[in-house]
Amino acid sequence: MDIGESVKILGIDPGLATGLAIYNLETLKVEWVQETHDGVKGFKHRFLRDIRRVDSWSVENFTLRSSNKFTADLHGVEIIGWMKGEDYWGLNNPEPSQHMKITRLGTKDKKADSPITKLMQEADFPIGEGHCRMALSVAVWFAAMRLKHVPTLELLKPRD
> pLDDT digits over 115-145, tens only?
998 899 899 888 766 899 999 999 999 999 9
Gap between the Cα atoms of 85 and 23, Å rounded: 26
Any domain includes 34: yes
Gap between the Cα atoms of 29 and 8, Å rounded: 10
Q: pTM for the whole thing?
A: 0.88
> Cβ contacts of residue 34 below 8 Å, gap of 6+?
19, 20, 21, 46, 50, 132
> Cβ contacts of residue 150 below 8 Å, gap of 6+?
none
pLDDT of residue 97: 82
How many domains are contained in the chain?
A: 1
> Cβ(80)–Cβ(89) under 8 Å?
yes
Any domain includes 148: yes
Q: Which long-range contacts (CB under 8 A, 24 or more apart) does 118-123 make?
A: 119/23, 119/29, 119/30, 120/30, 120/33, 122/29, 123/29, 123/30, 123/31
Percentage above 90 pLDDT, the chain = 59
Any domain includes 67: no
**CATH at residue 119:** 3.30.420.140
Enclosing domain of residue 79: 3-62+73-156
Any domain includes 98: yes
Q: Residue 69 carries which side chain, given as an amino acid letter? A: K
Is pLDDT of 82 > 50?
Answer: yes
Any domain includes 109: yes
Any domain includes 68: no
